[in-house]
């Protein structure tokens, strides 16, 4: 934080050469300065570099009020909060006034009277940009008094004035946000009659509190966030208000799995120590992220509601927690992530998606397992030969030796909570599995074990092996035997 200026009077402020700038001008000039100096702006907001960020920069340069329109988990509020960094570090305000008011361009009658009485001796205070951010979540119970203000009979009685006196007024959040950035989240949830109260503030700058109507040239830059209008039936953004917002910027989910991976790893709260203790190959991060991409195209999930990036973040945190729990239970210091650890993603998925009727009929857990299975199937052929094509291959099925072993009545049990030693023994018992994983996965060491597991679970998703799930254990066997013997009610494969 830069040092607070030492100026304390209006006289000294005038002598310093200070000139009033509106909030919109501050944002504009500081953005241009940052661009000229090649300084990063909105750093860490990934995958928006050539879509949302340029539109946001143009809106700031145009001095527009902004509405971020997009589904949940698309960094709308984050970008609004980051705009604070484009404000001047410190601005002067009239000391002793309840609303931030610039001494060189006061808008409140109280400020004007104080400056008229004290002149150049008017006391000055300084406000840091971190205090110039006001955020409000729009809910149906928000009132005009909350946002604009009302008459305060207690203040009137205390001051000995009537209810019709100007000093009997108390101001709501918006007037108190003078000289600030005001963010109103989930704007469509605001009742239509409350949205109407914003008309004049955005356009003319005057406000009306009950019988009082007076002009306050409030200096505020507004940022609104909203979900698409068909996202919910709770409310809509009324057209006259939309017309007064200069820029409507559409946000989006990650456009590629790689972008999603980068965002997830950036946002996941995983300690450095745990990150170092759990080995995770790059292809597994891609597999984990694919679950969210499968959810965003699933017919079982309400796509109007969206699938937040928070699903991927929570899922990755749960995966590391699963690995940490296993280490603690088995007295191990290090481990490597497994495909079976993806069972730990289920609670993160079920709490983050809204299901359509068909999904509700299937059940939330079943839908979650279906998404995980589809992600495995989708990513499998990026590393290994397509099992379906191998069935028809004239050159022979490369999976035949592995399947033949299971055809002899052998089974593999993969317990998510088993020790690394037990896990390795289960996989090494399958003849030729390690050599197959090393050949096609081009890997050595611990990563090979995860690839060996991936081979088996991938074959199950392509219906070449049978799979039964019971709690934290997956049993793999010959497909025909599995079908004939299947009585497991908890089978989500």
* 3-state DSSP of 462-493: CCCEEEEEECCEEEEEEHHHHHHHCCCCCCCC
Mean pLDDT to the nearest integer, 53-60: 98
- Which tokens sit at 117? 């009485």
Q: Which helix (H) or strand (E) holds 134?
A: strand 133-137
Residues 357 and 409 both lie in one domain: no
pLDDT for 459 beyond 90? yes
CB atoms within 10 A of CB 353: 25
Task: For residues 225 and 269, state if they share a domain.
Answer: no
The answer to the question of residue 159 being in a domain is no
- 185 & 333 share domain: no
- Structural domain boundaries enclosing 405: 384-493
Domain presence at residue 397: yes
Q: Which of 225, 250, 275 is the last residue of a domain?
A: 250
More confident residue, 448 or 395: 448
Sign of dihedral through CA atoms 415, 419, 420, 424? negative
Choose one of 216, 250, 284: the last residue of a domain: 250
* Distance, CA of 339 to CA of 337 (rounded, Å): 7
Question: Considering only 76-90, 341-355, 364-378, 435-449, which range has the smallest mean pLDDT?
Answer: 435-449
90's enclosing H/E stretch is: strand 90-94
The beta-strand segments (E) located in 191-309 are: 206-209, 212-215, 220-226, 247-250, 278-279
Mean pLDDT, rounded, for 379-397:
89
- Quick one: pLDDT band at residue 227, thresholds 50, 70, 90? confident
- Last residue within a domain, chosen from 331, 358, 380: 380
Based on the domain organization, do 14 and 111 belong to the same domain? yes
Task: Say whether 91 sits in a helix, a strand or coil.
Answer: strand
Predicted confidence band at 153 (pLDDT cuts at 50, 70, 90)? low
The CB density around residue 170, as the number of other CB atoms within 10 Å, is: 16
The verdict on 422 and 341 lying in the same domain is no
Give domain status of residue 165, yes or no: no
Residue 233 has pLDDT above 70, yes or no: no
Q: What percent of the chain has pLDDT over 90?
A: 72
Mean pLDDT confidence for 203-225: 75
Q: Is residue 5 part of a domain?
A: no
Average pLDDT over residues 225-243: 74
Same-domain status, 480 and 390: yes
pLDDT digits (tens, 9 = 90+) for 14-31: 999 999 999 999 999 999
Q: Is the pLDDT of residue 352 over 50?
A: yes
CATH number, domain at 269?
1.10.8.80
Residue in 385, 373, 378 with CA at minimum distance from that of residue 441: 385
Are residues 42 and 177 located together in one domain of the fold?
yes
Predicted local distance difference test score (pLDDT) of residue 1: 57
Give buried/exposed letters for 335-350 (b at 16+ CB in 10 A, else e).
bbbbbbbbbbbbebbe
Q: How many domains does the chain have?
A: 3
Whether 412 is in a domain gets the answer yes
Tell me what the mean pLDDT of segment 258-283 comes to: 95
CA angle 165, 170, 175 (to 5 degrees): 120
* Tokens coding 48: 């928006």
Residue at 166 is within a domain: no
Say how far apart CA 252 and CA 255 lie, in whole Å. Answer: 8
The whole-angstrom distance between residue 158's C-alpha and the CA centroid of its chain comes to: 46
Average pLDDT over residues 332-361: 94
Q: Which helix (H) or strand (E) holds 424?
A: helix 420-428
Higher-scoring residue by pLDDT: 123, 155: 123
Distance CA 490, CA 420 (A): 25
- On the question of pLDDT at 492 being above 50, the answer is no
The residues, ordered by sequence, that sit 6+ positions from 436 with a Cβ below 8 Å of its Cβ are 398, 402, 452, 455
Report yes or no on 2 lying in a domain.
Answer: no
Same domain? 216 vs 228: yes
- Cα dihedral 74→347→285→51 (10° resolution): -10
Q: What is the pTM of this model?
A: 0.87
């Amino acid at each position: 934080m830069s040092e607070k200026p030492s100026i304390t009077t209006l006289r000294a402020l005038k002598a310093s050469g200070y000139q009033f700038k509106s909030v919109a001008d501050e944002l504009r000039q500081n953005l241009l300065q940052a661009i000229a100096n090649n300084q990063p702006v909105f750093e860490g907001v990934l995958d928006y570099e050539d879509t949302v960020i340029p539109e946001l920069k143009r809106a700031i340069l145009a001095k527009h009020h902004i509405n971020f329109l997009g589904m949940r988990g698309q960094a709308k509020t984050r970008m609004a909060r980051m705009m604070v960094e484009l404000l001047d570090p410190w601005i002067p305000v009239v000391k002793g006034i309840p609303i931030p008011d610039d001494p060189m361009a006061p808008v409140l009658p109280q400020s004007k009277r104080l400056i008229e009485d004290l002149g150049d001796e008017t006391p000055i205070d300084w406000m840091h940009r971190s205090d110039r951010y006001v955020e409000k979540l729009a809910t149906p119970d928000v009132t005009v008094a909350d946002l604009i203000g009302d008459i305060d009979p207690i203040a009137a009685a205390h001051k000995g004035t009537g209810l019709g006196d100007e000093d009997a007024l108390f101001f709501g959040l918006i007037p108190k946000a003078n000289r600030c950035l005001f963010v109103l989240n989930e704007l469509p949830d605001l009742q239509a009659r409350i949205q109407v109260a914003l008309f004049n503030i955005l356009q003319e700058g005057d406000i009306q509190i009950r019988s009082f109507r007076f002009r306050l040239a409030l200096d505020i830059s507004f940022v609104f966030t909203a979900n698409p209008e068909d996202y919910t039936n709770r409310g809509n953004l009324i057209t006259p208000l939309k017309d007064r917002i200069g820029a409507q910027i559409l946000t989006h989910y990650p456009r590629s799995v790689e972008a999603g991976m980068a965002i997830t790893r950036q946002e996941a709260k995983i300690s450095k120590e745990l990150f170092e203790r759990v080995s995770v190959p790059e292809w597994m991060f891609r597999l984990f992220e694919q679950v969210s991409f499968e959810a965003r195209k699933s017919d079982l999930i309400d796509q109007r509601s969206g699938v937040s990036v928070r699903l991927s973040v929570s899922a990755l945190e749960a995966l590391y927690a699963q690995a940490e729990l296993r280490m603690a239970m088995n007295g191990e210091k290090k481990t490597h992530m497994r495909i079976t650890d993806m069972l730990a993603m289920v609670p993160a998925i079920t709490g983050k998606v809204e299901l359509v009727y068909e999904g509700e009929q299937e059940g939330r857990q079943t839908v979650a397992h279906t998404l995980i299975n589809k992600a495995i199937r989708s990513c499998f052929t990026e590393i290994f030969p397509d099992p379906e094509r191998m069935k028809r291959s004239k050159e022979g099925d490369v999976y035949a030796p592995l399947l033949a072993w299971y055809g002899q009545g052998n089974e593999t049990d993969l317990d998510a909570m088993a020790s690394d030693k037990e896990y390795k023994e289960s996989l090494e018992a399958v003849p030729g599995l390690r050599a197959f994983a090393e050949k096609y996965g081009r890997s050595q060491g611990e990563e090979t074990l995860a690839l060996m597991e991936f081979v088996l679970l991938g074959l199950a998703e392509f219906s070449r092996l049978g799979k039964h799930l019971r709690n934290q254990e997956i049993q793999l066997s010959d497909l025909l035997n599995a079908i004939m013997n299947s009585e497991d009610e908890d089978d989500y494969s």
